[in-house]
Amino acid sequence: MENLIISFNVVLPLFLCMALGYFLKRIKLYDDATLKTINKLVFKVFLPIYLFKSVYSTDLSAAFNGKLILFAVIGLVAWFLLLMLIVPMMEKENSKRGVMVQAMFRSNFVLYGLPVATSLCGEENIGATSLLIGIVVPIFNVLAVITLETFRGGKPSVKKMAKGIATNPLIIASVIGIAFYFLNIKLPSAVEKTVTDLSRVATPLALVALGGEFKFSKIKGNLRQLIISVIGKLVVSPLIIVAVGIMLGFRDETLVPVLLMSGAPAAVSSYTMAQQMGGDGELAGEIVIFTTGISILTIFLWVFGLKQLGFI
């Protein structure tokens, strides 16, 4: 019963924030244009501040885990390569192939990783998750470009990928946080308090905005692709990667980021990227919406199951 309550308390705040966002949109307190601005503000300002604060205030020497980082990178790339082989066997249209592959390996790690890790491990033990986010997010971006360009028939641009990584606010925030740590730069108390206060805005605002994106409209001709993508992202991906992680000895605060990297819903930015790179934008949007909604249940079940088994 204790594990059930803990699992429920981890997931319920996510659900309530998204439900509030959906309700506010339904009563027309904000429109799509406002939602787009909020998402941009969260991605470019509040989440980077949140990530910086997490890295800055963490004992990185204690949080660094080479084995975890190596496993996460190899596991992600291996899963990506497997999808690149399997998805074309299940789907004939290239515009849908790229979207499905991207959705099943590219997760909303930042938005789900930090709050869930904080709930499960405590704020003082999320260093491993924060560091892994800084490493995995650029890999997500590179693999997403490769995926969509491959199925569009183009050739991925190394220059564009490098620029995208170098200008990603989340990567910049991680690098600055690491630099402050190793150079032993301490923020003035007033500035640190401001950073701490602003960092607390990131998660609830992002979740409220995500809830506003929910549109339970008719799923035209994408039902089969949607089902495959949702199951692949929320069930198959964590089942394989977490199982291997357990066999390699990861537990508690080192297993939690593995679960969230593989089992979090599809990244919101995958919808925008699909639209910009010739993918099926409608399918990409539906995958983001449904994986986000269903992940409330699946993350609860993963957390509860791993708690019951004594792995976290």
Please report the pLDDT score of residue 219 as a whole number. 66
Residue 204: CATH number of its domain: 1.20.1530.20
Question: What residues contact 152, with CB distance under 8 A and at least 6 apart?
Answer: 94, 95, 98, 277, 278, 279
* Phi-psi category of residue 122: left, alpha or beta, with phi > 0 → left and psi -120 to 50 → alpha: left
Burial letters 244-278, b for 16+ CB under 10 A, else e: bbeeeebeebbbbbbbbbbbbbbbbbbbbbbeebb
**Nearest alpha carbon to residue 307 among 3, 2, 1:** 3
Please report the pLDDT score of residue 218 as a whole number. 52
Supply the pTM of this predicted model.
0.80
**Nearest alpha carbon to residue 299 among 19, 10, 22:** 10
Cα separations in angstroms, 278 against 94, 149, 191, 281, 287: 9, 8, 43, 8, 16
How many helices and strands in the chain, by DSSP H and E? Answer: 16, 0
Running along the chain, 312 residues long, what does each successive block of 10 average in pLDDT?
A: 69 82 91 86 85 78 85 96 96 94 92 80 80 84 87 74 75 85 89 92 82 69 92 97 96 92 88 80 86 88 93 91
Check residue 135 and report its DSSP letter.
H
Question: What residues contact 64, with CB distance under 8 A and at least 6 apart?
Answer: 127, 131
Domain that holds residue 190: 2-212+221-308
Establish how many alpha carbons lie within 13 A of residue 14's alpha carbon, considering only the half-sphere containing its beta carbon. 25
Structural domain count of the chain: 1
